[in-house]
Amino acid sequence: MAFLTTNLYGNQVWAWLAATGTLLLVWFAARMILRLVARRLRRLSQRTGTRFDDLLVELLAKTRFVFLLVVSVYSAGLWLTLPTTAETVLGYLFVLALLWQAGYWGSACVTFWINRSVQRRLAEDPSSATTLAAFGFIGKVVIWAIVLLLALENLGVDITGLVAGLGISGIAIALAVQNILGDLFASMSIVVDRPFVIGDFIIVGELMGTVEKIGLKTTRVRSLSGEQIVFSNSDLLASRVRNYKRMYERRVVFSVGVTYDTPADTVDRIPAMIESIIEAQPDVRFDRSHFSAFGDSALLFESVYYMLSPDYTVYMDTQHAVNVAIMRAFAENGIEFAYPTQTLYVKQSARARSENEPPRHD
């Protein structure tokens, strides 16, 4: 027993043994409790429809090894009489580990909420899923910024002066990375204003495709030929974007040319023939059909109708049916389609005619 009361580095041996036992006990107990609780909560979450138990499982999974070690060391240190410097360092270490772990838990909460919300809304409204993902990133940045400021404050750093200094430095950094920041703010503008969302078919200049991903710097578009096109977000905002997914109906204009030999009465009947053909098609609203112009080699008829479905394949199927029906109707009525032709008229002068005439013999 005298050995236990022996002074060793400022503490008796029994205090060192108690501290060691506390460190091991807290360490192993915390690991075992976390493992058992996580396992039971995981089984419970599979049988229930609530989100709270799923969130607890995620939080337990985000509990870091370093945090448990620091807590164990801090608990062991309570048995010992430590120098002021060592006690201060241990206290700072415990607070920093607690803040760091709180940052992980906060990020896990944001990630859990974002993933659940995105899965629920992606099929209904892809634009809201994109918005949630962007705000989730902002939420994580805010959480870790708060953790950093609290950690610096506990270390005795003057946050007010630091924030002021960071503001001046931030201006210089913003000027250096203004292109990146421009794309970042452009991404936020796209998310909030929603000129297009994931799944929309857009045309930008001569490039077109389906939007696959809206990132913080770039937007990825899958083209019709299969390759991926990467647009800078700031370039997209500066461009004229044609969004065909937002089309409610499609306006179709097409022309037909017939020969100049077509009688006037037949020409007058052609618009009515085209109108009846178009109105016979499903999901179509006829607008007009007129003898529009005298072409170089044809009498031109311009017709307009609206597809009530924005689907491009449906439009092409309808236009195919209209073209075939017009060919059959023209064939039945003896109307010929025009094709480019030229008629050359040659006029001889009087001198040329006299030279070509045979001599007279009176």
Which residue type sits at 72?
A: S
Residue-wise pLDDT tens digits, 124-134: 555 556 666 66
Query: Alpha carbon of 317 to those of 105, 130, 257: distances in Å?
Result: 55, 34, 22
Residue-wise pLDDT tens digits, 324-348: 999 999 999 999 998 876 666 676 6
The CB density around residue 26, as the number of other CB atoms within 10 Å, is: 18
Residue 361 has pLDDT above 60, yes or no: no
Residue 257 has pLDDT above 80, yes or no: yes
Which residue type sits at 44?
A: L
Helix and strand numbers (H, E) in the chain are 11, 10
Q: Which residue has the higher pLDDT, 243 or 351?
A: 243
Q: Which residue has the higher pLDDT, 272 or 162?
A: 272
Residue-wise pLDDT tens digits, 19-36: 788 888 888 888 887 778
Q: What is the pLDDT of residue 357?
A: 61
Q: Which residue has the higher pLDDT, 266 or 108?
A: 266
Buried b (16+ CB within 10 A) or exposed e, 151-183: beeeeeeeeeeeeeeeeeeeeeeeeeeeeeebb
Whether this prediction's pTM lies above 0.95 is answered by no
Alpha-carbon span 327 to 20, nearest angstrom:
96
Q: What percent of the chain has pLDDT over 70?
A: 76
